[in-house]
Every structure is written in structure tokens, then in C-alpha cells.
Amino acid sequence: MQPALQPIVQFGTSRFLQAHADLFVSQALSNEAGGSHALGGITVVQTTTSAQSAARVAALASGKPYPVRVRGRQGGVDIDETLQAKAIRGALQAATQWPQVRAAVLGAQIILSNTGDTGYALDAADGPAMLALEGAVPQSFPAKLLVLLYGRWQERPDEPLTLLPCELVQDNGDVLRQLLIRLAQRWGLSQTFGVWLQQHCVWANSLVDRIVSQALEPVGAVAEPYALWAVQRQAGLRMPCQHPSIVLTDELVRYERLKLFVLNGGHSYLAERWQALQRPPAQTVREAMADRQQRAELEDFWAEEALPVFGLLGLETQAQAYVASVRERFENPFLDHRMTDIFQNHAQKKQRRFAPVVALAEQHGAALPMRRMRDALVSV
């Protein structure tokens, strides 16, 4: 059965979006938490063939509310409450409901996505034949999106469309736009279509920040109280809702650096020292914060390496406030965030999180030793 068309189409069934953008839209629709406006409901699309994602789609397809349990500490107060999210009105599987997905995108005003670490990877099996073969479903998310946008360009070229990728990729909107333009060129598609992608569609760069620690079955999530969705302001941008956790900014890089250098960098430095100190395999971030030596080393990492770089940028006051909020988040009494999880892909994470800090300090000619980050970057 074809679900009613909604103004927002979301690619990805992640527990993160359930407790982040989807919850924001729900609260705005209900005028909760200061939300004063929402565009409307959401149709979720499963882009993979994961059995776990399929189970979530089956639950979301009912359109019934699902729980988001918010647990943590904020402003020195412990919070433990369960909210009901009501913005998702339908769900589709791309592999089996492609015509319905195409119809949903034709009627959308906003496209959200959160397709995971490899979401922008291409698949050699995808090609321009996908545009002509009736019912053919591309393998990769970028190819799926290209086919869907090509259909929209053919049928509704004048209707405005905003794309809001939420993948953890710097300048994610620019990256996704350029990826689709290159793919369109590789497929030999019309230059007019390429211009439409470039100039008509609004591709938003954004940063998401919320720890969503656990999925609930069959659908729902456990999340911390802190939440941020920072979106780069630009002409023609349309947001799914207004919400206190959504910030439109001309300085997205400032939010990106705060999260990368302080929160992500703090996680990776804790993981670095967790391994070096041979702490228990099951140790959590909260337990690491209660360990005198690990806590002291993290505090020194922030005070002597991260904060001085923000001082060079004239942002030390904002950075100190963000460190205070991250410290409280790391001490979350309800969150069992295991160091083993943070340590996954540790070498790559260190390069993404430490190398830019060192480079920024050098760029400003600052004589900062950055010993901890430099040592971590050369360690195995």
C-alpha cells in the first residue's frame, strides 16, 4: 500500500535520526520544546538490504509513535524521560518498493539522509541503464539518489528541493552534490540536468551532534539530552522544522572544529590512553572519567592542546563552554559507551581528529608542542 506523500523523505533508518532530526520534527509538529513550526511528516526509505533495517522499516511503516528515552546529565541535573516521536508517517524499502520511493521523492520538499560511514561509496554495478530499465534499483545510495533526482528533473523541474545530508562528512552537502554531478557526467546525462543539480537544488552542509547510545526494539532509541544540528545558511534553504537544537549559521566550521577537536578528539585520546594503560576491555567512558589517571590526562589534553588552538582563533570562551558540556556528557550516569567501540578504526580516527588540530596550530605559527597529539599520530 502506498503511504500518503509527505514533504520530507529520509534515506536511512538509523537510530540516530530517530532520536535527532525525526524527534525534532515530531516536537515541532506538537509544538513541544519550543518548536514553533514543522513542514510536515516524514517517509523513511531503507537503502540497504540489512535484515535489521528491514525490521525497523516494518515497525515504522505503521506510522505509530515510537519511544525515545532521553537519559543523561544536563546543567548538573540527571534527566531520565521517555518521549514519543510521531513525525514518521510511513516507511519503504528501496529494494522492493522502488516505484513508491520514486513517487515519494517526486512529492518531497526536503530530502534527509544518514547512510553510515560508507554511504557515499559507489558500486561498479550501477550505470546509466538504471534510468531506462523499468523497476531497476541501483545498488549504492548516490546512484539511487541520482536516478530519483533525474526522474524529478524530468517531471517537476521547477519545484524547489533542499537536500540535508547528515552523514559525518565535512561539507557533506558539497561533497554529495559534487559526487552526483560527477556520476551524472560519467553516465553521459544531459548537461542541463547537471546544471539543475548544481543550481536548482539546495545542498546543505550540516553538522549533527548527539550521542544515541542504544536502539530500542523494534524501533526507538536511547539518547543523551544534548543535541545539536548546525546547518550552514544559504539562499533558498528550507528546513524541516524550527527547533531549539537547530542552529542556522554562517560559521559552520566553528561548530565542526568544536566537535572534532573536543568531543571526537577527547574520545580518541581516551581510547589511546585506554590501550596504552591496559585498562579493562569492558571499560566505559564514564568509568574512564572516574579513573584518576585517565581523567587527568584527558583534562590536560583539553587544557594544553585543544583549548590553546581555539585561543588562536579567538574562540577560547566558546571552547571552554563546550568542554564543560562534553565533560558532563562523558560523565553521563546512564550511558555505557564502551572504549572498545570508540577504539574501532582508531588509526583512521586519529588522523581525522588530531592531524587538523596540529596543522591549524602550525598554520597560525604557534609554538605549541602538541606532544600528546603528535605522539598519538605516530603510534601504532
- Cα dist from 41 to 8, 67, 155, whole Å: 6, 17, 23
Give the pLDDT band (50/70/90) at residue 51.
Answer: confident
pLDDT at 3: 67
Domain 8-250 fold is Rossmann fold (3.40.50)
Q: Residue 350, Cα to own-chain centre: how many angstroms?
A: 19
Confidence of residue 48 (pLDDT cuts 50, 70, 90): confident
State residue 113 phi and psi, 5-degree precision.
-150, 145
How high does pLDDT run on average in the chain? Answer: 94
| Overall average pLDDT of the 140-148 stretch | 97
* Contact indicator for 305, 373 with CB cutoff of 8 Å: yes
pLDDT of residue 2: 62
Q: Coil, strand, or helix at residue 334?
A: coil
Are 288 and 279 in contact by the 8 Å Cβ rule? The answer is yes
Q: Please give the CATH topology (third level) of the domain spanning 256-378.
A: N-(1-d-carboxylethyl)-l-norvaline Dehydrogenase; domain 2 (1.10.1040)
pLDDT band at 36 (very low <50, low <70, confident <90, very high): low
Task: Quick: pLDDT tens for 229-281.
Answer: 999 999 999 999 999 999 999 999 999 999 999 999 999 999 999 999 999 99
Tell me the C-alpha to C-alpha distance, in Å, between residue 270 and each of 131, 180, 280.
Answer: 48, 37, 13
Residue 35: predicted pLDDT: 46
C-alpha distance from residue 324 to each of 71, 249, 319 (Å): 18, 22, 9
Report whether 312 contacts 366 (CB < 8 A): yes
**Tens digits of per-residue pLDDT, 187-207?**
999 999 999 999 999 999 999
Exposed e or buried b per residue across 195-211, where buried means at least 16 C-beta atoms within 10 angstroms of its C-beta = ebbeebbbbbbbbbbbb
Phi and psi angles of residue 289, each rounded to the nearest 5 degrees, phi first: -65, -25
- Give the tens place of pLDDT for each residue, 72-110: 999 889 999 999 999 999 999 999 999 999 999 999 999
Q: pLDDT value at position 53?
A: 84
C-beta atoms surrounding 130 within 10 Å: 18
Weakest-pLDDT range from 31-40, 78-87, 140-149, 282-291: 31-40
Q: What is the pTM of this model?
A: 0.91
Side chain identity at 241, as an amino acid letter? C
Mean pLDDT score, 29-54: 83
Give residue 299's pLDDT.
98
Residue 101 to residue 36: CA distance in whole angstroms? 29
pLDDT at res. 353:
94
Please give the Cα distance from 349 to 307 (Å, whole number).
20
User: CA-CA distance, 142 to 126, in Å (whole number)?
Assistant: 10
Answer for the pair 109, 7: CB distance below 8 angstroms, yes or no: yes
pLDDT exceeds 60 at position 113: yes
Please tell me the distance from the alpha carbon of residue 264 to that of residue 293, in angstroms, as a whole number.
20
173: cell is 552537502
Query: In this predicted structure, what is the pLDDT of residue 380?
Result: 64
The percentage of residues in the chain with a pLDDT greater than 70, rounded to a whole number, is: 98
State the pLDDT confidence band at 287, using cuts at 50, 70 and 90: very high
pLDDT digits (tens, 9 = 90+) for 333-347: 998 889 999 999 999
- Write down the domain spans for the chain: 8-250, 256-378
